[in-house]
Amino acid sequence: MHEVDSEHSKAELLFPCPLCSLVCSSPVILQEHVELHLQGHLSDQGERRFECPMCSTVCSDSFSLQEHVELHLNQSSDPDPDLKLALQLQQKEELRRQQEEVQQEEEEFKKLQRQFGLAGEGGYRRQTERSMEKAVAQGLLTPADFHWKRAEMMESLASGVDDGATRSQGILRALYDFYQTEWKDYVHVWLCADTDHYGSSVGDKGWGCGYRNFQILLSSLKMIDTYSSLLQDKVVPCIPRIQSMIEEAWKEGLDPQGASHFNQRLQGTRAWIGATEIYVLLTSLGISSRIIDFHKPTGTADTHPLLFDWVKQYFCQTSRSSRLPNKIIQTGLPPLYLQHQGHSRSVVGFEQKKNGSFCLLLLDPGSSMSDIRKLLSRDTWTTAVRLIRKFPRNLKHRQYQLVSVQGVLSAEDKQMYFH
């Protein structure tokens, strides 16, 4: 009888871990061992997770996990109703917190979808129709005019050709005349080849700048001998047609990463496009181009002097001779596509002032047609030119991209780019 009691007392001195099969010889060792269980582990994303090894509840920190596991242990040794209730309440609280996190992630994702035009709210056509419907409701447009304008829009969309409603011509010619007759505070001015301005319409307001800048660039390429023969059968497309052109290029194997980002679809959306999509469009037309990245400011006060230097070198490439260049140089170069977060513009010229400073001449699709056409009148062009001149202090976004046209793709290049 004595020996049985002795064996029983020895068994009581062993301390099994409630979380695994290990048996410890002392409570101190057991406590250290259990704490290792409670330290959490890394998730697939590299974040530390504090997951209960007994019921898989995820706690917010190690302290909460320890309290939670102690409830399990107390419950197993002493099924106190209060402890059971506390455990249930804690599990409910953790579940509520996880649900809130999921809901917040979903809301942030939807916000990003709306911001980038991927929320399924309709594209150019639907936005135009809604704008006209609103104008009718406000008495600004008659029902008859609504149907006439809608028919015009549908005809343009069916043909794939931009209707030219926001197009302004003769801008570069006017700038040349302005610098020749009015403006004297400069050493040199370089201008790109003849280029039309395409402004935003009610159908693409808020998201169409990338498409409009492509129209601006294409209008210039069609007037440059190097590219005109390649583009002789090409018209300036409307925005939905540009979207379908990008989708067709994706199907040919161009930019699979971008295609995946947009889920292979642009038509019927208000999705913004940027420098990569401009590159894809040009490549699909047989035109060589390159993207130049300016990842961070390189000057004082968050300015980008390297960007300005690059643009100057671009425009100077046609006047590299031993003799001094003219004060006004009308190059045969197409404009540059300039992208920053949330917006894009077209660089149509570069000015070097007498005090040594530089400025870019930028056409903005967001500018109203009335403001752009002030460049065409001698009475208003001084004020209008000031609006398109941008100095380093005016370009202070953290990152910029330029797209520069480089010539015509060779047969070998085409084989490399396309399937």
Q: What is the pLDDT of residues 70-106, one digit of tens each?
A: 666 655 555 556 666 766 777 777 777 777 777 776 6
pLDDT of 97: 79
238 and 324 within one domain: yes
H-state helical runs in 222-263: 225-228, 239-251, 256-261
The count of C-alpha atoms lying within 13 angstroms of the C-alpha of 149, restricted to the half-sphere facing its C-beta, is: 18
Number of domains in the chain: 2
**8 A C-beta contact, residue 90 and residue 115:** no
Predicted local distance difference test score (pLDDT) of residue 415: 75
* pLDDT value of position 2: 44
What is the pLDDT, as a whole number, of residue 223? Answer: 93
Q: CB neighbours (10 Å) of residue 267? A: 16
My answer on whether 141 and 260 are in the same domain is no
**Same domain, yes or no, for 404 and 306?**
yes
CATH number at residue 239: 3.90.70.130
Is 221 in contact with 287 (CB distance < 8 Å)? yes
Q: If residue 153 lies in a helix (H) or strand (E), which one and from where to where?
A: helix 143-159
Residues annotated catalytic, as ranges:
209, 343, 364
Residue 254: give the domain boundaries: 168-418
Do 193 and 340 lie in a common domain? yes
**Structure tokens, 242:** 């540009």
Structural contact between residues 199 and 372, judged by C-beta atoms closer than 8 angstroms = yes
**Which of 277, 319, 290, 234 shows the shortest CA–CA distance to 405?**
290
Is the same domain home to 295 and 337?
yes
Query: Which residue in the block uniquely carries the two structure tokens 């801008």?
Result: 171
Q: Which of 159, 179, 206 is the last residue of a domain?
A: 159
pLDDT number for residue 186: 82
Q: How high is the pLDDT of residue 140?
A: 87
Contact 348, 362 (CB under 8 A): yes
129 and 178 housed in the same domain = no
Tokens of 20: 């695994």
Whether residue 239 sits in one domain with residue 310: yes
Does some domain include residue 296? Answer: yes
d(C-alpha 90, C-alpha 107), whole Å: 26
| pLDDT of 174 | 95
Shared-domain flag, residues 149 and 225: no
Length of the chain: 419
Distances (CA, A) of 61 to 17, 50, 76: 22, 6, 23
Q: Which ranges of the chain have pLDDT less than 50? A: 1-11, 42, 113-120, 322
Pair 257, 301 in one domain: yes
pTM beyond cutoff 0.85: no
> In the prediction, which pLDDT does 177 show?
93
pLDDT attached to residue 99: 77
